[in-house]
Structure 1
Amino acid sequence: MSAPFPFSAIVGQDEMKSALLIAAVDARIGGVMVFGDRGTGKSTAVRALAALLPPIALVEGSRFNADPADRGRYTACSAAAKGKAIKGKVPFIDLPLGATEDRVVGALDLEAALTRGEKRFEPGLLARAHRGFLYIDEVNLLEDHLVDLLLDVAASGENLVEREGLSVRHPARFVLVGSGNPEEGELRPQLLDRFGLSVEVRTPQVLSERVEILKRCDAYERTPDSFAAEWKREEAKVLRQIANAHEALPYVVVPDATLEFASRLCMTVGADGLRGELTLMRSGRALAALDGASEVTPAIIARVAPMALRHRLRRGVLDETGSTARIARALAEMQGADAVPLAA
């Protein structure tokens, strides 16, 4: 099996890469929604990040990617509780558009029920994605009740299945990443609001960037292992950055002044509810940890603001400007003429 495309070799799309790194550092942010043109590296970036992360500790034989340090907490995972600790890859699970609810959440194992009369739970995609990434391409075409279910589980970190006389609860903590093309249908605002971060990606319009993308794609297709080896040092830097951020995250301070700045920004742009402020706080703390900073400043909040708020704003009847422009305008008003530059 050839090596995956290196995360650090992706040209441009800095905002998308930042959002994925932030979500990898703190899964509580609630996932990443990536809207944009086809063929802009959305799925490539998610797969590359999952492949980049170091192996995780697993219980051998566990169908739930159980953590050896968390044995016995869930009865559904008890069958493999005595298995030895091994190392395994960070899970990356694709959720197909045609997936049924039973395949997603899990269901009664019909073979065991019919042949042996046993009521046995057959884990679904949520169990396989535990401690990893769950990726949904064209999430705007997925049935709303499935999207709602996925977001509920992603927020709680647990999957509860009650059907056919079964009642099973198992861990399901994963980074939910959805992608889609707005031309093929929009996600309902109520559902979009529950994604932690929202990213807009566009086809590069700089000639040099497009040429560099062609060169790297061609080099990878010709000799994937050699291409990956060339980027090994850069990949190691990203890996160290993520590992250091994980360790530093609990110690990053969010001063009251920064919290006030975040709340005032949400009030200025008219963001509904408090999810915007919570996401600003969490993503700001993760970004500070990635930067090696000990506290979250208003400048860091300004950097994550477009990703955290653009999908939470109501569309103004008399305001034709996009959400990102409205956030930039609000930041400029709050910070004066020397506003912190926003990501493209």
Structure 2
Amino acid sequence: MPQTYPFSAIVGQYEMKRALLLAAIDPAIGGVLVLGDRGTGKSTAVRALAALLPPIKTVLGCRFNCDPDAPTAGCPDCQRNSNARLKVDKRPIPVIDLPLGASEDRVAGALDIEAALTQGKKTFQPGLLAAAHRGFLYVDEVNLLEDHLVDLLLDVAASGVNLIERDGLSLRHPARFVLVGSGNPEEGELRPQLLDRFGLSLDVTSPTDIAERIEVVKRRDAFERDPAQFLDSWARKDAALGKRILKARAELNEIAVGDEILEIAAGLAIKLSIDGSRGELTMMRAARALAAYEQRERVTPELLLAVAPSCLRHRLRRDPMDESGSSIRVERAIASISVAVA
């Protein structure tokens, strides 16, 4: 089994790492979209983050990673064992790649043809959405994803349930995961419906600082030459970070969010002409997760404004009278809000 590069050893890319940490603390934030250069550690960071966290408890024999402490009523495997005492298993947090060329059957699941031919039974073969339940679903080049898969992801992301109605099958199963997408905007834009489903969005670029680029190369080379020793040298920092995430999760609901914070969030959304309330909800959740991560008792304006760019830049309408990039427009709005708050 290949070794996973340590999360703590990733050089730079502060906003990307913070966004992934916040999504791990509170999956309700809605996933992370990472746009920019290739080779900037996007997939490495996702796998490294999952490796930080302890294995999840699952129902033994369940193909859908159901939690034995809260088995899902819609799970076909758990329904079959509803009268028996559920046995517990442990599995690493899943990180599932959704390839661009995947068929809908591969993603959503379909009739198990082999079982149908050899046993004469209609058996459901779970897909990638089932495998990603309670974990991460990673889509590289998400902007090139075929429309029918985009529609499928939109439905599942909104409901947390995958519904299959074809090939003589009619069933549903839980499918809640942190959606992480990456891509190069020069190769095509995302559909607005999918873009709005991501809670956080950020741009990544290759480092321009010589010392930083050298450090990236040195660490990667050390990892590839002796993975065991490299992992051991970063184990303490990764373990501490994992405990910090778990502590933040446990304390998340205790973080206070005052009306003044919601007023700032609403003011930003109005100033930037953000449609709907999803922008404010995401800002509140992300700021609360950041407060829990930093071991604060309440969300402050400083924390809210820190996460605002990631929450809002991908929700802006096109403005033909303003050629500035989305990040610059958000920063200008934050600057005006900061002055008012001060």
Shift of 1:144: 2.2
Give the one of 127, 140, 147 matched to 1:144. Answer: 147
Note if 1:198 corresponds to 2:196. no
For residue 159 of structure 1, what is the aligned residue in structure 2?
Answer: 162
For residue 222 of structure 2, what is the aligned residue in structure 1?
Answer: 219
Relative to structure 1, the CA distance from residue 338 to residue 209 in structure 2 (aligned partners, 3 Å threshold; closer, same or farther) is farther
Shift of 1:154: 2.3
State how far apart, in whole Å, the 2-side matches of 1:9 and 1:287 are.
21
For residue 258 of structure 2, what is the aligned residue in structure 1?
Answer: 255
Question: Unpaired runs of 5+ in structure 1?
Answer: 340-344
For residue 310 of structure 1, what is the aligned residue in structure 2?
Answer: 313
Note if 1:173 corresponds to 2:176. yes
For residue 32 of structure 2, what is the aligned residue in structure 1?
Answer: 32
| TM-score normalized with structure 1 length | 0.95
Segment drifting more, 39-48 vs 155-164: 155-164
Q: Which amino acid is 1:158 matched to?
A: V
Which stretches of structure 1, 4 residues or more, deviate above 6 A after TM superposition?
Answer: none
CA contact (8 A) 2:50 2:94 kept: yes
CA RMSD of aligned residues (A): 1.6
For residue 12 of structure 1, what is the aligned residue in structure 2?
Answer: 12
State how far apart, in whole Å, the 1-side matches of 2:216 and 2:64 are.
38
Note if 1:279 corresponds to 2:267. no
For residue 102 of structure 1, what is the aligned residue in structure 2?
Answer: 105
CA contact (8 A) 1:2 1:224 kept: no
For residue 47 of structure 2, what is the aligned residue in structure 1?
Answer: 47
Q: For 1:76-98, what per-residue CA distance to the aligned partner results, in whole angstroms no more than 9, with x for missing partners?
A: 12246655212210011111111
* Secondary structure, aligned partner of 1:122: strand
For residue 326 of structure 1, what is the aligned residue in structure 2?
Answer: 329
For residue 268 of structure 2, what is the aligned residue in structure 1?
Answer: 265
Give the one of 130, 134, 138 matched to 1:135. Answer: 138
Give the one of 227, 231, 235 matched to 2:234. Answer: 231
For residue 64 of structure 1, what is the aligned residue in structure 2?
Answer: 64
Give the one of 235, 240, 243 matched to 1:240. Answer: 243
Question: Unpaired runs of 5+ in structure 2?
Answer: none
Segment drifting more, 105-114 vs 233-242: 105-114
Identity %: 62
Relative to structure 1, the CA distance from residue 4 to residue 154 in structure 2 (aligned partners, 3 Å threshold; closer, same or farther) is same
Relative to structure 1, the CA distance from residue 304 to residue 231 in structure 2 (aligned partners, 3 Å threshold; closer, same or farther) is same
Note if 1:92 corresponds to 2:95. yes
Relative to structure 1, the CA distance from residue 156 to residue 2 in structure 2 (aligned partners, 3 Å threshold; closer, same or farther) is same
State how far apart, in whole Å, the 2-side matches of 1:252 and 1:319 are.
38
CA contact (8 A) 2:75 2:174 kept: no
CA contact (8 A) 1:63 1:128 kept: yes
State how far apart, in whole Å, the 2-side matches of 1:225 and 1:174 are.
30
Shift of 1:21: 0.5
Q: Which amino acid is 1:243 matched to?
A: L
Shift of 1:254: 1.1
CA contact (8 A) 2:72 2:174 kept: no
Shift of 1:151: 3.0
State how far apart, in whole Å, the 1-side matches of 2:28 and 2:113 are.
34
Relative to structure 1, the CA distance from residue 284 to residue 19 in structure 2 (aligned partners, 3 Å threshold; closer, same or farther) is same
Q: For 1:156-202, what per-residue CA distance to the aligned partner results, in whole angstroms no more than 9, with x for missing partners?
A: 22111111232211111111100001121111223211111101000
State how far apart, in whole Å, the 2-side matches of 1:155 and 1:298 are.
29
State how far apart, in whole Å, the 2-side matches of 1:176 and 1:133 are.
6
State how far apart, in whole Å, the 1-side matches of 2:247 and 2:141 are.
33
Q: Which amino acid is 2:271 matched to?
A: T
Relative to structure 1, the CA distance from residue 72 to residue 33 in structure 2 (aligned partners, 3 Å threshold; closer, same or farther) is closer
Q: Size of the alignment, in residue pairs?
A: 339
Q: For 1:277-309, what per-residue CA distance to the aligned partner results, in whole angstroms no more than 9, with x for missing partners?
A: 111111111111111112112211101111000
Shift of 1:2: 4.2
Q: Which amino acid is 1:63 matched to?
A: R
CA contact (8 A) 2:161 2:176 kept: yes
* Secondary structure, aligned partner of 1:96: coil
State how far apart, in whole Å, the 2-side matches of 1:120 and 1:2 are.
32
* Secondary structure, aligned partner of 1:221: helix
State how far apart, in whole Å, the 2-side matches of 1:116 and 1:87 are.
30
CA contact (8 A) 2:313 2:326 kept: yes
State how far apart, in whole Å, the 1-side matches of 2:204 and 2:72 are.
43
For residue 342 of structure 1, what is the aligned residue in structure 2?
Answer: none
Q: For 1:106-136, what per-residue CA distance to the aligned partner results, in whole angstroms no more than 9, with x for missing partners?
A: 1112222233322221111111111111101
